[in-house]
Amino acid sequence: MLKDGKIAAVGGEITEQDARVVEAKGLIAAPGLVDMHVHLRDPGQTHKEDIYSGCRAAAAGGVTSLLAMPNTSPTTDCAEVVSDILYRAQSADAHVYVAAAITKGLKSEEPTDLRTLRGAGAIALSDDGRPVENTRLLAEAMVLGSSLGMRVVAHCEDLYLAKGGLMNEGVVSEKLGIQGIPAAAEDCGTAREIALAESYNVPVHICHVSTATSAAMIRDAKKRGVHVTAETAPHYFALTEVQLLRRDADYRMNPPLRTEKDRLAIIEALRDGSIDAIATDHAPHTPQEKSDFHSSPNGSIGMETSLAAGITALVKTGILTLSELLAKMTYIPAKILGIPAGSLQIGAPADVVLFDENEEWNVDPAKLHGKSRNTPFKGMRLTGRVKMTVCGGRIVYENWENEI
């Protein structure tokens, strides 16, 4: 039973006379999903997405808590921007948490005031969208951020190796005659962040892991006791660079889709716990921006398909149990971020998703709930459909129709 924004009871009779009773026979009730990597594009790029449209998309995917990345316009690098986002998000359909920038303007030149950002309500630190090029500034942020309870969530990339690349460097890029981004660009960044975490004995979280080598380095670091956690996204365990043969920019993101070898390595890292969490890197762009394969910006949306993609690619194939998948999408990311989410215990926030783990549906971009349509899962038939999402005790999404 949900009451006053909290989970009031589990099981037993419902005695409240004015309560709404939801018939959920055959459905799974789980904690609302926690997506620790989302680009809301707000402020400054609201033609792509805004706080409210992004949270509507979140609700449709069962996501009730999300971490908003700082590559906004202006950058989320000062208390005023952090406070503005959090104030406006109070009426949105998901709980919005803020990752503030490590450097001003994401330029890797001048550090932000971490204490002030923390005081304004930011809970994590990142220059996501690009790496922190200045290693000293990154190290200082990891150390001070740790003392303030702010985890650095690191975009790992060597910009010199990646420069000019549009997709994974390999057989497909050669076939298309397109400059690629070598796996080494991500791997060198991952190695640096792990080295800093180990040397300074502070935590770091590695974002959107896509390569076999990065997964192996994270696995090895964990065995040595390094305080490293990591996430990947559904497109890295479900798709490969072969999709780029379509010359469709909706399959271009950064890091790029990799090889089948990398995809299998990511799956194994999810299976053995080397990769802790599944996030989406939800990155909206307009159809106009995505219309040209060569000049379009990187990024794809993902909050409405993440649960179904996980069920389809990982649960129905026997790689993870449903409980294991949900752990990587609920309480584990909540624990990494230190937020009150990912639990159905009495007294916990009333953030709940009801879904049918066996319902199949076709991903139609026109029926999605955000402003943008750039999903790499378009046209695919996925298994697992969200039927209702409750955030803070409020029903924010319902869909009781079954798709044939």
DSSP state string for 133-188: --HHHHHHHHHHHHHHT-EEEE----HHHHTT--EESSHHHHHHT--EE-HHHHHH
- Measure the CA–CA gap between 382 and 310, rounded to whole angstroms: 9
| Mean local confidence (pLDDT), 24-38 | 97
pLDDT of residue 1: 87
Catalytic residue list contains 248: no
- Per-residue pLDDT, 23: 87
Residue whose token pair is 């503005």: 84
The band of 240, judged by pLDDT with boundaries at 50, 70 and 90, is: very high
First to last CA, the chain: 32
pLDDT for position 256: 98
Sketch out the chain's domains with CATH numbers: 2-398 (3.20.20.140)
pLDDT tens for 8-19 read: 888 877 777 788
From 281, 292, 351, 356, the catalytic residue:
281
pLDDT-based confidence at residue 404 (cuts at 50, 70, 90): low
pTM of the entire predicted model: 0.97
Give me the helix-helix angle, 212-223 and 183-200, nearest 10°: 10
Alpha carbon distance 184, 161 (integer Å): 7
Please write the tens of the pLDDT for every residue from 353-366: 999 999 999 999 99
Q: Between 135-148 and 183-200, two packed helices, what is the crossing angle to 10 degrees?
A: 50
What pLDDT sits at residue 12? 76
Helix (H) or strand (E) holding 309, with range, is helix 306-310
CB contact set of 69 (below 8 Å; sequence gap of 6+): 37, 38, 39, 40, 76, 99, 126, 128, 129
Element housing 36 (H / E): strand 33-38
pLDDT of residue 50: 98
Tell me the pLDDT tens digit for each residue of 46-97.
999 999 999 999 999 999 999 999 999 999 999 999 999 999 999 999 999 9
Q: Are 284 and 54 in contact (CB under 8 A)?
A: yes
The string of DSSP codes covering 54-109 is HHHHHHHTTEEEEEE-S--SS-S-SHHHHHHHHHHGGGSSSEEEEEEPSBGGG-SS
pLDDT tens, residue by residue, 143-171? 999 999 999 999 999 999 999 999 999 99
* DSSP-assigned letters across all residues of 192-229: HHHHHHHHHT--EEE-S---HHHHHHHHHHHHTT--EE
How large a percentage of the chain has pLDDT more than 70?
100
**Predicted confidence band at 403 (pLDDT cuts at 50, 70, 90)?**
low
Q: Give 91-117 pLDDT, tens digit per residue.
A: 999 999 999 999 999 999 999 999 999
**Average confidence (pLDDT) over 322-350:** 97
